[in-house]
Structures are given as structure tokens and as C-alpha cells.
Structure 1
Amino acid sequence: MGVTIEFAAAALSLLLVPGPTNTLLAASGALRGFRASLPLIAAEVGGYMASICALLAVFGSGAAQRPTLTLTLKAAAALWLCSCALKLWREARQDLAIADEPAGFGRLFVATLLNPKALIFAFVIAPTAGLAGAAPWLAALCAMIAAAGLCWIALGAWLGSSSGPGLAPGLIRRAAALVLLAFAGALASSAVAAL
């Protein structure tokens, strides 16, 4: 199956919507700058590809009819986002020079691996042919993931540089922590509603 305009529009729309991965990318751009945050694009692409390919390989396109799987994945993602939010909140009290980066490679990879957008890619946007016929759209998706990630890093870097001294690293970390906590709450509430 080739890449269609509908697929590209749906994928880009989903990738540009604020979410946990995009929040971490923007926070990194604001705190570390555009160039220093570029390696995180590989973590984002790798996280999405690992999740999507695993979901397609193990469950196939019929997994959307398995509510227990979706519930379990949402609960795991909510717990991970709470953990990331707590760590960012604690780091807000530290000086930028001694704090961990806002989103290290591993943290961003796992946040993306558990990002609920991967479920939508695997079970809604993916071609029904399964993993075997997915190579063309997976390649296109990798390019779109990288482009969207660059946009979020650039937005964060612009916000970090244009705000002057008023936007302290601690404030950026706390804002990112609150956004991640909101996403975790939304995931948890949708999982509870599905029970």
C-alpha cells in the first residue's frame, strides 16, 4: 500500500497535536536550545517505530477490538507520564547546570514508546495489510515524526530565547510537569471510563 494524502494528513495532524512527547521536546528546546535537542529526534522516531511495529506484529490490525489491551497500555502510559512529571517537578528546584536534562534520550524514548498516539497509528491509521505491507507508510511516517519533532523543539527554543530572563528553567520544568500530569489524568480517566 502506498502513502496517500489522507494518510499523510491524518499522521501529521496527530503528530502536531500537543502530547507527552511533544511537551518533552519543547521543554528540551527551551532549556537546552535547538541544536542540543536534535538527538532527541532519534529517540522519538525509535520509540514510535518500536511501539507501532510491536503492536502490529503481535496483535495485527484487529487489536482495536481487544479492549483489555488498550486499557493496559493506557494505564502503563499514564503511570509513566506521572513518573516523568514527578521527576520534572523535583528537578525544577535544581539549578540548570546541575539538573538532569529535561528529557534525556532514554526518558523521551520510553515516553514515546508508551505514547497513546502509537495505538492510533497502529490500529487506526495503519494499512490493514499488517506489518508486512507497511514499509512504505512506516518510512513516510518516520519522516513526518522527525519533521513534527523538529517543529516542537524549534517552538520550545523560540519560547526559551524570546522570553528573556522571565522564563526560568524551573518554571519550564514545572509547566512541562503539569502538562504531562494532565495527559496522564486524561489517559487514566479514559481507561477508567472503559471499564
Structure 2
Amino acid sequence: MTEPIAFVLAVIGLLATPGPTNTLLAASGATVGFRRSLPLILAEAAGYLCSILVLAAVLGPATQSWPLFDTALRVLCGTYLAYLAWRHWNAVLDGVEVQPVPFARVYVTTLLNPKALVLAFTVVPHLASGAFAAAVPYLTGLVGLIVLLAGCWITIGACLTAGAAGPSRRRWVQRVSAGVLGLFAVIISGSAFAG
């Protein structure tokens, strides 16, 4: 996809849709607010860039020589998301005060996010063919769009708890994010065995 407008629209369409990373960003915004959640934008950008570059340079050839690799990767992603859902849900049930979403959690979730597969092999031009230098302007644009869209997801989360009295609404957001993460875990793991 070498047309810049099509690239921008594809990235926005992909990254604006709800997903595991966006769920964590919104949960952080709801828990600690916009300003304290800003470092998570860097975690998302770093996670996507690392994942895309590793997928294109190393794992792309591996998936063609080992057909079960894609299945194993999806199961791994689904398992990790199930673990995150369990952690979010138990933090609420145990009465533990909701903690900020850690930088490393957003980074690892983004690193394992299936959207990176689409970005690496379909959306970001020149990567699938190994022409990394030609992909640099698109990767730069991708980072800019990640910053914009991640800020939107954090803002959405912060708006959900704006003016909330006590931790009840924050706990509700935590439960919803646990449910969404669990749903993504089932969908991703299930897609590994479908078809």
C-alpha cells in the first residue's frame, strides 16, 4: 500500500478499532487520568515498531517455512490476554485498589497484538519485500498516528470517570476492561484453530 492517503486511512481504521492495547490505554485513562497515562503512548509505539520489524525481518520467512507458527503465535497472544483479563478482574474482586497500567504491560500487549501482523505484511509498504529504507517514511507516519490515536483512547477512558465519586466507576471500568480482554483472548485463540 504505497498510496499515502490509503496508508493513513488503513492505519486509522486498524488502530482506532477496539483491541487489547486500546483497552489498556482506556483503562489507564479511567484509572489515573490523561496526564499520568501519557508514557503509555511510548509503550504502544515501541511495541508496534519492535513487533512490525521483527515480523517483517525474521518471522515472515519463518511463517512460510513452518505453517504452525501462525497458530502458535495466536495461541500465545490469546493466553497472554486471558492472563491480563484475569489480573484485571481479580484486582477488583480482591478489593485491591486499582493500580495504574504498567508501561511493560502495554508494551508486551502491543508486541503480541495481531494488528502488528496486518501492519507488517499488508499496510506498511516495502516491509514484506525487505526494503526497510523505503519503509522509513511510512513507519514515521505510523508513529505519528499511534500518538494521536493512543491519546484519543486515553481521553475516552479519562472521560468515563470524570467527576466520578469514589472508586466505584473506576472499578466498573476495570471489570469492563477485564471482560473485553477476555473476549479478545477467546477470539484470537479461537482464530488459531478455525478453518
1:1-195 to 2 correspondences below 5 Å: 4-60=4-60, 67-92=67-92, 93-96=94-97, 99-101=98-100, 103-128=101-126, 129-130=129-130, 131-161=132-162, 164=165, 167-194=168-195
Give deviations 1:50-88, integer Å, cap 9, x for gaps: 100111111458957964232222111101101111111
TM-superposed CA distance for 1:167, in Å, is 4.5
Q: Equivalents in 2 of 1:152, 1:22: separation in Å? A: 6
- Cα distance change, pair 143–66 in 1 and its aligned pair in 2 (3 A): farther
Identical counterparts, % of pairs: 41
Give deviations 1:135-160, integer Å, cap 9, x for gaps: 11001001111111000000000111
Q: Equivalents in 2 of 1:190, 1:41: separation in Å? A: 28
- Cα distance change, pair 168–150 in 1 and its aligned pair in 2 (3 A): same
- Equivalent position amino acid for 1:159 in 2: L
Q: Equivalents in 2 of 1:133, 1:72: separation in Å? A: 31
Structure 1, unpaired ranges of 5+: none
Cα contact 1:64–1:70 (8 A) shared by 2: no
- Cα distance change, pair 66–133 in 1 and its aligned pair in 2 (3 A): farther
Number of aligned positions between the proteins:
191
Higher alpha-carbon deviation: 70-79 or 139-148: 70-79
Q: Equivalents in 1 of 2:191, 2:170: separation in Å? A: 32
Structure 2, unpaired ranges of 5+: none
Cα contact 1:34–1:153 (8 A) shared by 2: yes
- Cα distance change, pair 64–116 in 1 and its aligned pair in 2 (3 A): farther
- Equivalent position amino acid for 2:9 in 1: A
Root-mean-square deviation (CA, aligned residues, Å) is: 2.2
- Equivalent position amino acid for 1:151 in 2: C
Question: What TM-score results when the alignment is normalised by the length of structure 2?
Answer: 0.89
Question: What TM-score results when the alignment is normalised by the length of structure 1?
Answer: 0.89
